[in-house]
């Protein structure tokens, strides 16, 4: 079967009669599975036109959902036979992942929003026993550089769930925009959510899009996103960047910046790409400001659905702190080891602050600089080294090395890739990504929570471009983090690509504007718009 991700065990009986579903097909939801049953009725009901009503009291039902204490939390067992479908999971999440497999088995048209004429809905007789390799199977979506409206975020939650991915990391703030409403600081979105124009292409491009760009999510939008994700067993991890990547916040509230070396009142939201030199001032007032931000954020992202809070901590230029008398006095007052120690002081403060409120801090691997906060977890993006160091020191790690799973990077070396960025990483390359380096000791390997694919949006300006960069590679990534694959050198990328032939039809039904296997269509190209590296520029290292 062309199931993606590949299940642990799937035994089908090709010669056996198939189970046909129809208008009279009923469903029965055991205790704890009612939410999954509702999802099945909505999604399969839309595609098939069948209501899948609850079986009458005392009746067995044709599609039966249940919890099974003998299965681990996200494990499931799917049995299809002549008397119907039995779907059991170790938790509601396990049942939900089994329901995703059931939907795949019904064929691509099970992903449509209205029934097509003449369709027959049948399932093969067989058994699927399955469960994930990792508990953290994520995607980071940058909505700060280019804003994705709420409906697009909800759509991506559905796409993640369809691939059994369970974490959406939302990059909500950066130099180029602030995307979440904070009621006690309204200028963060009134001012910080808008920039006058955007660079068109990589920062070396001479082209500009002169249309003002912006937008933000209201607090009720965020509540809706979090609740929608929770119904689909996806956790949403918010990211608020400190102390770097903060020019949008400083543009809104100039007192947050290093006012003794920069006229922060003259700053606007940054209209270019790269890393801005404008970083937060290391003052108690700035800490109090961001504590207020995080207080509102914690209310929007309840601990039971989002225990982790991402604080960025990456790419923090130190030039302003070196020039600032106030920052240097702060270093002496706190007895810190220079500017790196100041960055660590920021992160350690919020590590303690979040821990006191029952949350866990996670940040990019730069938070290792100057000493890692005791309870912090690390998103290892600059290769594996940061993740290895953190795991060996007993810290939890999410592996997301840019050389392997940055989906904004180009998919081929040819000139037709739209605004090509970074390394060439093909579908087969992503399929051979291994989240646990072989050098890790068994004890350290246990600290690898999983992995995520990251998609930055500097040159990914709308939903179609996000689709193009994400798919089909996100499907390969999903199999890597769900399935128990052999070591990378022994993985059969050709067999995976053969299974993708069937999966493309599912993506078509879902309306995903993926990169075709033969290369971009003419409308997907961006001729004449520079990417990186460009001619004469050294390769990225």
Predicted confidence (pLDDT) at residue 19 exceeds the cutoff of 50 = yes
174 belongs to the catalytic site: yes
Q: Which two tokens stand for residue 294?
A: 């995080």
333 belongs to the catalytic site: no
Picking from 56, 24, 53, the residue whose alpha carbon sits closest to that of residue 40 is 53
Predicted confidence (pLDDT) at residue 307 exceeds the cutoff of 80 = yes
Predicted confidence (pLDDT) at residue 434 exceeds the cutoff of 90 = yes
Residue 434 burial (CB count, 10 A):
16
Residue 323 burial (CB count, 10 A):
13
Instruction: Please name the residue that has the structure tokens 């961006």.
Output: 526
Say what the pLDDT of residue 423 is: 87
pTM beyond 0.95, yes or no: yes
315 belongs to the catalytic site: yes
Say what the pLDDT of residue 540 is: 46
Task: Catalytic residue, from 109, 315, 340, 508: name it.
Answer: 315
Percent of the chain whose predicted confidence (pLDDT) is above 70: 99
Task: Catalytic residue, from 146, 245, 409, 503: name it.
Answer: 245
Residue 209 burial (CB count, 10 A):
13
The mean per-residue pLDDT over the stretch 265-290 comes to 98
> For strand 213-214 and strand 360-364, is the pairing parallel, antiparallel, or unpaired?
unpaired
- pLDDT single digits (tens) 477-500: 999 999 999 999 999 999 999 999
Picking from 168, 135, 93, the residue whose alpha carbon sits closest to that of residue 453 is 168
Burial of residue 76 (number of CB atoms within 10 Å: 0-12, 13-18, 19+): buried
Asked if residues 64 and 77 have their Cβ atoms less than 8 Å apart, the reply is no
The alpha carbon dihedral of 444, 402, 280, 237 has a sign of negative
Task: Catalytic residue, from 68, 130, 142, 174: name it.
Answer: 174
């Amino acid at each position: 079967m062309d199931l993606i991700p590949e299940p642990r065990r799937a035994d089908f009986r090709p010669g056996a009669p198939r189970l046909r579903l129809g208008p009279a097909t009923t469903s029965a939801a055991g205790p704890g599975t009612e939410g999954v049953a509702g999802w099945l009725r909505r999604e399969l009901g839309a595609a098939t036109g069948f209501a899948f009503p609850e079986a009458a009291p005392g009746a067995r039902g044709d599609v039966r959902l249940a919890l099974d204490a003998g299965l681990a939390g996200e494990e499931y067992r799917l049995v299809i036979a002549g008397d119907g479908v039995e779907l059991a999971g170790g938790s509601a999440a396990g049942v939900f992942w089994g329901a995703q497999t059931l939907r795949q088995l019904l064929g691509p048209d099970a992903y449509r929003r209205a029934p097509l004429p003449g369709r027959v809905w049948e399932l093969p007789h067989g058994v699927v026993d399955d469960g994930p390799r990792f508990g953290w199977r994520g995607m980071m979506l940058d909505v700060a550089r280019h804003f994705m409206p709420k409906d697009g975020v909800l759509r991506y939650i559905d796409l993640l769930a369809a691939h059994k991915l369970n974490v959406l990391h939302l990059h909500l703030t950066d130099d180029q925009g602030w995307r979440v409403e904070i009621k006690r600081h309204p200028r963060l979105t009134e001012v910080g959510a808008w920039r006058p124009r955007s660079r068109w292409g990589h920062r070396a491009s001479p082209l500009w899009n002169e249309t003002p760009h912006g937008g933000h999510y209201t607090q009720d939008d965020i509540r809706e996103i979090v609740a929608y994700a929770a119904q689909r067993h996806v956790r949403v991890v918010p990211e608020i960047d400190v102390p770097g990547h903060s020019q949008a916040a400083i543009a809104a509230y100039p007192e947050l910046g290093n006012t003794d070396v920069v006229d922060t009142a003259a700053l606007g939201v940054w209209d270019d790409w790269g890393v801005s030199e404008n970083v937060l001032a290391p003052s108690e007032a700035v800490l109090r400001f961001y504590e207020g931000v995080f207080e509102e954020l914690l209310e929007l992202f309840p601990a039971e659905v989002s225990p982790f809070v991402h604080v960025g901590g990456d790419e923090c230029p130190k030039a302003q702190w070196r020039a600032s008398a106030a920052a240097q006095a702060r270093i002496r007052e706190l007895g810190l080891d220079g500017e790196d120690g100041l960055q660590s002081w920021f992160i350690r403060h919020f590590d303690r602050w979040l821990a006191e409120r029952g949350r866990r801090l996670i940040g990019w691997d730069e938070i290792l600089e100057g000493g890692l906060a005791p309870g912090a977890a690390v998103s290892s993006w600059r290769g594996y080294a940061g993740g290895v160091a953190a795991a060996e020191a007993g810290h939890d790690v999410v592996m997301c090395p840019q050389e392997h799973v940055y989906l904004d990077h180009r998919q081929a070396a040819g000139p037709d890739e739209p605004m090509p960025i970074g390394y060439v990483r093909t579908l087969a390359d992503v399929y051979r990504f291994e989240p646990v380096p072989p050098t890790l000791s068994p004890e350290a390997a246990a600290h690898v929570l999983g992995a995520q694919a990251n998609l930055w949006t500097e040159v990914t300006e709308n939903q179609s471009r996000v689709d193009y960069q994400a798919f089909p590679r996100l499907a390969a990534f999903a199999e890597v983090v769900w399935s128990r694959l052999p070591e990378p050198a022994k993985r059969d990328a050709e067999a995976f690509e053969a299974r993708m032939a069937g999966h493309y039809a599912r993506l078509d039904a879902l309306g995903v504007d993926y990169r075709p296997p033969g290369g971009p269509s003419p409308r997907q190209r961006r001729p004449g718009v520079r990417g990186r590296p460009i001619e004469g520029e050294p390769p990225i290292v």
